[in-house]
């Protein structure tokens, strides 16, 4: 199912675009949407829609999820592209979804608006010597933008689910949907877990700051020449250490409720350990 030209392609690039569907065609299990726009994406690439060459792509017209054919040799397309039109405002396309469980779920999430981004896989245009065609790419050093005036469309993919989930209430809304694929359910479960941990760590920030403050006090009591009564200083240090241990227990205990997430048990242990060591940074979902 994976086209040979995708298996052997070199100089692969991808650009992600946020694009609300222009039209939803429920009877056809299809949506009409843009797969690129002439605006800078998150890595400062600008695709000229009029410079697209989709002659290779048109032979298969396969649409994927998160370019998964690159990591899974058994990957199946989730949809097919019925047509593409090069317009000033971007490349407009009509995408018809397949009818197996995972494709059904991705279609439902697009149709309901929970996923609204697409990622384009493309390569540069080459000349007869195999080098990038002169004038097909421009780089604006002042703006830090790369302009792709000519490019080959290799494929386009529905963007990863976690890229557009940033609140637990959104996750809960998705979990209540009639999803079919275990793959989708696991993706949502992992995203939910990550968000719960991120929120928990955020709520513990003040406690972590308090631990740092107490540890600084311990250092002060250990080195302050003003304190002449060593026994009194040692007693205060012991009290501070007990307070720190109490705070650490408060940090650890709320995370125990997440123990049911067996798939991410090891991740949970790492997060708790790093949180206590004050090394953990909040998750960035990509």
For the segment 143-185, what is each residue's pLDDT rounded down to a tens digit? 888 999 999 999 999 987 754 455 677 777 888 889 999 988 8
Q: Which residue has the higher pLDDT, 28 or 272?
A: 28
Asked if residue 9 is part of any domain, the answer here is yes
Are 150 and 256 in the same domain? Answer: no
Mean pLDDT within 224-245 = 67
Q: Look up residue 211 and give its two tokens.
A: 């631990």
- Residue that terminates a domain, selected from 163, 196, 216: 163
Q: How many domains does the chain have?
A: 2
283: pLDDT strictly greater than 50: no
Q: Do 110 and 23 share a structural domain?
A: yes
The answer as to whether 135 is a domain residue is yes
Does residue 135 share a domain with residue 192?
no
C-alpha triplet 105, 108, 114: angle, nearest 5° = 105
* 171 in any annotated domain: no
Answer yes or no: is 266 within a domain. yes
Q: What is the pLDDT of residue 245?
A: 76
In a domain, 178, yes or no: no
Min mean pLDDT across 87-96, 142-151, 205-214, 265-274 is at: 265-274
Question: Looking at the structure, do residues 29 and 134 belong to the same domain, yes or no?
Answer: yes
pTM: 0.67
What confidence category does residue 286 fall into, taking pLDDT thresholds of 50, 70 and 90?
Answer: very low
Distance between CA 276 and CA 258 in Å, rounded? 17
SS (H, E, C) 224-260: CCCCCCHHHHHHHHHHHHHHHHHHHHHHHHHHHHHHH
Domain of residue 217, residue span:
185-276
């Amino acid at each position: 199912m994976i086209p040979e030209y995708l298996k052997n392609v070199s100089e692969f690039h991808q650009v992600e675009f946020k694009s609300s569907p222009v039209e939803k065609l429920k009877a056809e299990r299809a949506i009409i949407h843009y797969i690129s726009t002439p605006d800078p994406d998150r890595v400062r690439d600008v695709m000229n829609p009029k410079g697209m060459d989709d002659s290779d792509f048109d032979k298969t017209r396969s649409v994927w999820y998160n370019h998964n054919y690159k990591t899974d040799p058994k990957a199946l397309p989730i949809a097919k592209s019925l047509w593409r039109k090069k317009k000033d405002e971007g490349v407009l396309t009509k995408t018809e979804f397949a009818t197996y469980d995972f494709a059904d779920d991705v279609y439902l999430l697009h149709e309901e608006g929970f996923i609204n981004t697409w990622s384009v896989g493309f390569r540069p245009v080459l000349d007869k010597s195999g080098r990038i065609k002169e004038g097909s790419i421009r780089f604006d050093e002042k703006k830090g933008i790369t302009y792709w005036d000519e490019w080959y469309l290799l494929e386009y993919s529905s963007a990863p689910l976690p890229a557009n989930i940033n609140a637990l209430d959104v996750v809960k809304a998705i979990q209540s949907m009639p999803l079919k694929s275990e793959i989708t359910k696991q993706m949502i479960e992992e995203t939910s877990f990550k968000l719960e941990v991120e929120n928990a760590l955020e709520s513990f920030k003040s406690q972590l700051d308090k631990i740092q403050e107490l540890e600084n006090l311990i250092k002060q009591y250990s080195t302050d020449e003003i304190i002449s009564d060593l026994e009194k200083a040692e007693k205060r240090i012991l009290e501070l250490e007990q307070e720190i241990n109490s705070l650490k227990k408060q940090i650890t205990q709320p995370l125990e409720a997440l123990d049911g997430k067996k798939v991410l048990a090891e991740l949970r242990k790492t997060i708790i350990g790093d949180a206590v060591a004050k090394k953990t940074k909040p998750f960035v979902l990509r």
